[in-house]
Structure 1
Amino acid sequence: MKHYRTIIGALLASAALAGAAGACEITFKSSDTHPEGYPTVAAVEKMGEMLKERSNGRLCVEVYHSAQLGEEKDTIEQTKFGVIDFNRVSMGPFNNLVEETKVVSLPFIFRGTDHMHRVMDGPIGDEILAAFEPHGYVGLAYYDGGSRSFYNREKPIKSVEDLAGMKVRVMQSDVFVDMMTALGANATPMPFGEVYSGLQTGVIDGAENNWPSYESTGHYEVAGYYTLNQHLIVPEVLVMSKVSWDKLSPEDQALVRQAAKDSVPINRELWAEREKVSEAKVRAAGVQVIDTIDKAPFIAAMAPVYERHANTPKLKSLVERIQATE
Structure 2
Amino acid sequence: MFKRLLKTTAVALFCAAPLSATLAEARQLRVSSFEPAQGFYSSKIIQPWMDKVNAKLSGGVEFKLYPGSILGAPPAQADLVKAGVADMALVVPTYTPGVFPLSGVVEIPGIVKNGAMGADILNTLLEDGSLAAEYSNYKVIALFTTPAYRFFVSGDPVTQPSELSGLKLRSPSKFGSELFAMVGASGVGLPAPQVYEGLERGVVSGAVWVMDAYRTFRLNEVAPNITTTGFIATPMSILMNKNTYDSLSDENKAVIDEMSGRATAEWIASVIDTTDAEIETSFRKDGKVNFVDLDEADQAAWDEAFSGAAEAWVNGQPDAEVAATILRRAHETAGD
TM-score scaled to structure 2, two decimals? 0.79
Aligned 8 A contact 1:183 1:298 in 2: no
2:19 counterpart residue number: none
Label 1:121 to 1:133 Cα distance change in 2 as closer, same or farther (>3 A).
closer
Letter in 1 for 2:272: W
The alignment partner of 2:259 has SS state of helix
1:16 counterpart residue number: none
Residue 164 of structure 1 and its aligned partner are, at CA, apart by 0.4
Instruction: Establish whether residue 297 from structure 1 lines up as the match of residue 305 from structure 2.
Output: no
Counting aligned pairs with the same residue, the percent is 21
**Distance in 2 (alpha carbons) for counterparts of 1:157 and 1:78:** 40
**Distance in 2 (alpha carbons) for counterparts of 1:168 and 1:60:** 41
1:309 paired residue among 309, 313, 316: 313
Aligned 8 A contact 2:75 2:95 in 1: yes
Residue 113 of structure 1 and its aligned partner are, at CA, apart by 4.6
Letter in 1 for 2:325: S
Unaligned runs of at least 5 residues, structure 1: 1-21
2:272 counterpart residue number: 271
> Which consecutive aligned stretches of 4+ in structure 1 deviate over 6 angstroms post-superposition?
none
Q: Deviations over 1:90-137 (max 9, x none)?
A: 342144311211212222223555543432343555635533334x43
- Stretch deviating more after TM superposition (150-159 or 227-236): 227-236
Label 1:222 to 1:45 Cα distance change in 2 as closer, same or farther (>3 A).
same
1:161 counterpart residue number: 162
The alignment partner of 1:133 has SS state of coil
1:199 counterpart residue number: 199
**Distance in 1 (alpha carbons) for counterparts of 2:158 and 2:228:** 9
Q: Deviations over 1:42-64 (max 9, x none)?
A: 22212212222222263322223
Label 1:81 to 1:124 Cα distance change in 2 as closer, same or farther (>3 A).
closer
Letter in 1 for 2:278: V
**Distance in 2 (alpha carbons) for counterparts of 1:142 and 1:204:** 31
Residue 185 of structure 1 and its aligned partner are, at CA, apart by 0.6
What are the residue-to-residue correspondences of 1:30-109 with 2, within 5 Å? 30-41=31-42, 42-56=44-58, 58-109=60-111
RMSD (Å) for aligned C-alpha atoms = 2.8
**Distance in 2 (alpha carbons) for counterparts of 1:83 and 1:252:** 21
Unaligned runs of at least 5 residues, structure 2: 1-22
Letter in 2 for 1:132: E
1:130 counterpart residue number: 132
Q: Larger radius of gyration, structure 1 or 2?
A: 2
Label 1:52 to 1:115 Cα distance change in 2 as closer, same or farther (>3 A).
closer
**Distance in 2 (alpha carbons) for counterparts of 1:125 and 1:72:** 27
- Stretch deviating more after TM superposition (206-215 or 273-282): 273-282
What are the residue-to-residue correspondences of 1:237-256 with 2, within 5 Å? 237-249=237-249, 251-256=251-256
Letter in 1 for 2:132: A
**Distance in 2 (alpha carbons) for counterparts of 1:127 and 1:232:** 24
Residue 208 of structure 1 and its aligned partner are, at CA, apart by 0.6
- Stretch deviating more after TM superposition (175-184 or 158-167): 175-184
Aligned 8 A contact 2:115 2:269 in 1: no
TM-score scaled to structure 1, two decimals? 0.81
